[in-house]
Chains A and B, each alone.
Chain A
Amino acid sequence: MKKALFTVLSCLLALTVSACGSSGQSQSTSGNDSSNGAAAPAESSAPAKEKYVFGTDATYPPFEFEKDGKYVGIDIDLLNAIAEAEGFEIEIKPMDFKGIIPGITSKQLDGAAAGISITDERKQVIDFSEPYYQAGLSLVVRADNETIKNPEDLKGKTIAIKKGTTGAKFAEELAQKYGAEIKYFDDSPAMFQEVVNGNADVTLEDYPVVSYKIAVDPNSNLKIVGDRLNGDYYGIGVAKGNEELLKKINDGLKKVQESGKYDEIIKTYLGEQK
C-alpha cells in the first residue's frame, strides 16, 4: 500500500518537474525572440516579430472587457490594429488599473492601453502616445437620486472611486473643496455596485464608460448628472525611454486613423455617439 502511494507520488512529482522544465524552456525562447528579434533560429521561415507586453484594465467596458473568453474593446482593437500596421506582436495582460503604471515603471510591462488619461503627474513616470480619445469625467449617481445635480451638492456625501485614476484625483480635490468623504476601490464594477447599493452617493467615471454601461445594461440603476467635468485625453502608455516602441505606436496610430480603421473600432463599441 505504502509502496503504491510512493510510486504514484513520485510519478506526480516527475510530471510536475518535467512540465515546469518545458514551460521554462518555452519562456526562455520567447524571451530570446523579443530581445534579439531578427537573430531568431533559422527554422522559423517567417521573420520573428518583436513582441511587446501591454497591460490593460480587465474590467473597463467599452475600452477593455472580456467577451466569450477573449479580451475585446476599443483599446484592445486599437492596439491590435496598430501592431498589425507596424508589424509587431502584442501580449495583453489584464490587471487592476492601479497596477498598470507601476507595472510600466517597473518594466513588467512594455506599455499599456487602458483608457489612461494623459496627465502631467503620469508624464513624469511614463511616456504617452499621441492622444487617441477624449473622455472626460462625469458624476454618476443612483437612478433614483435627486439630490446631487452638480459638484456643489457633494457636501457631506460619500464618493466611491477607483484607485490610481484621474477620477480619484479629481474626487480628492472635490472632497476637499466641498467636504465630502472618499472610498477607494480596485475596479469599476465594485465602485458602481457601491453606488447602486447605496453605500456611496456618487462616483466619478469617464463619460464613455458610464454611458456604455447604462446603454448595454438597462438594469444598471445608474444615471449621469451634469456636464462632463473635464476633457482629459486618453493616451497609450509606454515605458519611459523606449523611443522605438513609442514611435511605432504613434506611427501605427496615425495609419489606423487615416485608414478609417479607428472610426470603425469606435463605431463598433459606441455606435454613433462620440
Chain B
Amino acid sequence: MKSSWQVIVDALPILAKGLLVTIEITVLALIIALIIGLFIGLMNTARTKILRSIGTVYIDIIRGTPLLVQIFIIYFGIPYALDFQIDEFVAGIAAISLNASAYLAEIFRAGIQSVDGGQMEAARSLGLTRGQAMRLVVLPQAVRRMIPAFVNQAIVSMKDTSLLTVIGIRELTNSGEIIISGNYRFFEIWITVAVFYFVFIHLLTLFSRYLEKRLAN
C-alpha cells in the first residue's frame, strides 16, 4: 500500500490540470455572465414595462431551476431533441454563465437602484442623455458597491463548475473522481481536491478585499 504522501504527490499533476480547466471555465463563464447580467440588470431598471417583464422572466426561470438540471438540458436534452452536437466545454460554459448571469442581473439591479435617484436627475439636468448618465454617473458608483456581491457570485460559480463532472468535463472534481476510481484512496484525494479549491478561492477573496480598499478612496 502506498503512503498517503505518495498518493497525493502522484495525484498532483492530474489535479493541477483539473484545476486549470476549472479556472478556465470559471473565468470565461463569468465574463459572459457579466455581459448578460449587466444587460438583463439594465432591462430590469428600464422604464418600459415590456423590457422589465422580459428581464424578470429570464431571472425567474434560471433562478427557479437547479443548475444540475440546466446542465443536463443544455448538454443532453436540447442537442438530442434538435439533433445537433455540442462540445462539452461550450455546454458547460453556457450553463455556468447563464446561471450566474441571472444572479448577477439582480446584483446589477440592486446596485443601480442603490444609487440615489438625485444622481440621475442631476446628470440629466446637466444635459446628459439617460444612457450617458447611466454609463458615466450611476454605473461607476453602483459597480463599487457591487464588488463584494460580485466576488461572492464568482466564488459560487467556481464551486458550481464541480457539477460539470456529470457531462464528462475533466475539471478538478472529475479529476479527483477519476483518480479515486483507480486507487480507491478517497480520503487523501478528496482532501487534496478541497485544498486546491480552497487555495484558489482564498486568493480570490484576498484580491477582492484589496480591490474594495483601493476603490473605497
Chain A residues near B (Cβ < 8 Å): 98, 101-102, 105-106, 125, 160, 163-165, 168-169, 183-186, 190, 193-194, 196-199
Cα distance A106–B187 when bound, in Å? 10
B198 interfacial contact with A, CB 8 Å? no
A-B contact sample (16 more), CB < 8 A, given A105-B184, A193-B76, A197-B85: A98-B180, A102-B180, A125-B184, A163-B177, A164-B180, A184-B170, A184-B178, A186-B166, A190-B76, A190-B167, A190-B168, A197-B86, A198-B85, A199-B85, A199-B86, A199-B88
In the complex with contacts A197-B79, A198-B85, A102-B186 CB distance below 8 A: yes
| Closest 3 A/B residue pairs (Cβ) | A164-B181, A183-B168, A163-B181
Offer 15 A-B interface pairs, CB within 8 angstroms, sorted by A: A98-B181, A102-B184, A105-B184, A160-B168, A163-B181, A169-B182, A183-B168, A184-B178, A185-B168, A186-B165, A193-B76, A193-B80, A194-B168, A196-B80, A197-B80
Query: What is the chain A residue whose CB lies nearest that of B180?
Result: A102
Nearest CB in chain B: distance from A111 CB, A: 16
Nearest CB in chain B: distance from A191 CB, A: 9
Cα distance A106–B180 when bound, in Å? 13
Chain B, range 184-207, C-beta contacts under 8 Å to A: 184, 186
Q: By CB atoms of chain B within 10 A, which of A164, A169, A190, A197 has the most?
A: A197
B174 interfacial contact with A, CB 8 Å? yes
Nearest CB in chain B: distance from A169 CB, A: 8
Residue numbers in B under 8 Å from A160 (CB-CB): 168
Residue numbers in A under 8 Å from B87 (CB-CB): 199
Cα distance A164–B86 when bound, in Å? 26
Q: Which of B85, B166, B184 contacts A190 (CB 8 A)?
A: B166
Query: What is the chain A residue whose CB lies nearest that of B190?
Result: A102
Residue numbers in B under 8 Å from A163 (CB-CB): 177-178, 181
Nearest CB in chain A: distance from B184 CB, A: 5
Cα distance A183–B177 when bound, in Å? 13
Residue numbers in A under 8 Å from B178 (CB-CB): 163, 184
Residue numbers in A under 8 Å from B177 (CB-CB): 98, 163, 184
Are B88 and A197 neighbours in the complex by a CB distance under 8 Å? no
Residue numbers in B under 8 Å from A101 (CB-CB): 184
Are B85 and A184 neighbours in the complex by a CB distance under 8 Å? no
Cα distance A190–B164 when bound, in Å? 13
Residue numbers in B under 8 Å from A165 (CB-CB): 181
Q: Which of A106, A184, A186 contacts B186 (CB 8 A)?
A: A106
Q: C-beta contact mask, B48-63 vs A, less than 8 Å → 1, else 0?
A: 0000000000000000
Chain B, range 6-24, C-beta contacts under 8 Å to A: none
Cα distance A184–B174 when bound, in Å? 8
Residue numbers in B under 8 Å from A98 (CB-CB): 177, 180-181
Chain B, range 64-92, C-beta contacts under 8 Å to A: 76, 79-80, 85-88
Residue numbers in A under 8 Å from B79 (CB-CB): 197
Cα distance A32–B88 when bound, in Å? 48
Residue numbers in B under 8 Å from A125 (CB-CB): 184
Cα distance A185–B177 when bound, in Å? 10
Cα distance A184–B168 when bound, in Å? 5
Cα distance A161–B110 when bound, in Å? 45
Cα distance A198–B82 when bound, in Å? 13
Query: What is the chain A residue whose CB lies nearest that of B85?
Result: A198
Cα distance A169–B184 when bound, in Å? 14
Cα distance A231–B174 when bound, in Å? 29
Residue numbers in B under 8 Å from A193 (CB-CB): 76, 80
Cα distance A106–B87 when bound, in Å? 36
Cα distance A98–B79 when bound, in Å? 27
Are A168 and B181 neighbours in the complex by a CB distance under 8 Å? yes
Nearest CB in chain A: distance from B173 CB, A: 11
Cα distance A98–B174 when bound, in Å? 11
Cα distance A186–B167 when bound, in Å? 8
Are A185 and B186 neighbours in the complex by a CB distance under 8 Å? no
Cα distance A185–B181 when bound, in Å? 12
Cα distance A132–B174 when bound, in Å? 32
Residue numbers in A under 8 Å from B186 (CB-CB): 102, 106
Cα distance A162–B135 when bound, in Å? 50
Q: By CB atoms of chain A within 10 A, which of B165, B174, B181 has the most?
A: B181
Chain B, range 128-176, C-beta contacts under 8 Å to A: 165-168, 170, 174
Query: What is the chain B residue whose CB lies nearest that of A163?
Result: B181
Cα distance A199–B79 when bound, in Å? 10
